[in-house]
């Protein structure tokens, strides 16, 4: 019995950890992998989905500032947004979360990035009440991009990934972004071999380094970026 309980606890903990990396878990999911907040609009929205007929969840939502120090890090400052409703019961079906800006001195010449978090707290269930189980809440996290009003009129966001420039800096590949948009990379291949970790975004009008295997001399770079809908752009080649 003790071994069984330990196993169930381990599964629950694994569920919590993996829930932060994906936009769905069990019967609980989000309708998109990212949210684009158009600065000319009063709000943005995202759909919360519960496809589990037998169980409900308590859904708690909040927004964190994105920290460029790590692909999964947050900064300590309070994000200038609110979500409504911030806490509610999610039965089977769909609900819409509304995101509204509350102020903040955000740049007007480039995008700003944030984390949108939705914590799913499992409801109690009669079939679990008499079993030796441990339940954990898990967090679904997606990126929220605030796109200032008029930015897309001057710079096409669908073309941004085409303007990346790459250079080698020792054992790192440097990606330089001259556009006002964050660029999320799905993959980078150097000399035909895939780089292991490209999770860090290339910031607007900035650079991002990616680790290279030792003794690599970069001759060619092929990369693929993620679009506003969470899909993939066509792969591109960058010649040195």
- What would the DSSP string read from start to end of 171-233? TEEEEEE-SSS-B-EEEEEETTEE-S---S-B-TTEEEEEE--TT----EEEEEEB-TTS-BP
pLDDT of residue 36 exceeding 60: yes
Alpha carbon distance 122, 28 (integer Å): 10
Strand order in the sheet with 28-30: 24-25, 28-30, 44-50, 93-101, 81-84
3-state secondary structure of 84: strand
**Topology, domain 2-151:** Immunoglobulin-like (2.60.40)
Q: Do domains 2-151 and 155-239 have the same CATH topology?
A: yes
Average pLDDT over residues 108-123: 94
Tens digit of pLDDT for each residue in 129-184? 555 555 678 899 999 999 999 999 999 999 999 999 999 999 999 999 999 999 99
Q: Do 61 and 131 form a contact (C-beta atoms < 8 A)?
A: no
The lowest-confidence range among 17-21, 69-73, 153-157 is 17-21
Q: Tell me, what's the pLDDT at 18?
A: 37
Instruction: Domain 155-239: give its CATH superfamily.
Output: Immunoglobulins (2.60.40.10)
**Please, what is the average pLDDT of the chain?**
86
Tens digit of pLDDT for each residue in 154-169? 999 999 999 999 999 9
Query: Can you give the residue ranges of every domain in the chain?
Result: 2-151, 155-239
Alpha carbon distance 206, 181 (integer Å): 10
**Cα–Cα–Cα angle for 234, 73, 150, rounded to 5 degrees:** 55
The lowest-confidence range among 26-30, 110-114, 179-183, 205-209 is 26-30
In 3D space, the residue among 176, 114, 170 whose CA is nearest the CA of residue 142 turns out to be 114
């Amino acid at each position: 019995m003790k071994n069984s309980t330990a196993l169930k606890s381990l599964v629950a903990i694994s569920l919590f950890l993996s829930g932060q990396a994906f936009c769905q878990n069990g019967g609980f999911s989000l309708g998109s992998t990212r949210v684009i907040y158009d600065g000319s609009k009063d709000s943005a929205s995202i759909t919360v989905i519960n496809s589990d007929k037998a169980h409900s969840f308590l859904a708690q939502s909040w927004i964190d500032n994105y920290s460029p120090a790590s692909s999964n890090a947050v900064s300590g400052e309070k994000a200038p947004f609110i979500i409504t409703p911030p806490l509610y019961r999610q039965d089977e079906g769909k609900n819409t979360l509304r995101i509204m800006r509350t102020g903040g001195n955000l740049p007007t010449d480039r995008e700003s990035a944030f984390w949108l978090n939705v914590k799913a707290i499992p409801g109690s269930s009669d079939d679990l009440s008499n079993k030796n189980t441990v339940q954990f809440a898990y967090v679904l996290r997606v990126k929220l991009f605030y796109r200032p009003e008029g930015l897309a009129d001057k710079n096409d966001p669908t073309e941004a990934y085409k303007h990346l420039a790459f250079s080698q800096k020792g054992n790192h590949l440097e990606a330089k972004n001259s556009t006002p948009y964050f660029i999320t990379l799905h993959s980078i291949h150097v000399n035909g071999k895939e780089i292991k970790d490209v999770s860090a975004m290339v910031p607007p009008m900035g650079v991002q380094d990616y680790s290279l295997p030792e003794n690599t001399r970069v001759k060619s770079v092929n990369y693929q970026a993620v679009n506003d809908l969470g899909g993939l752009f066509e792969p591109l080649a960058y010649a040195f």
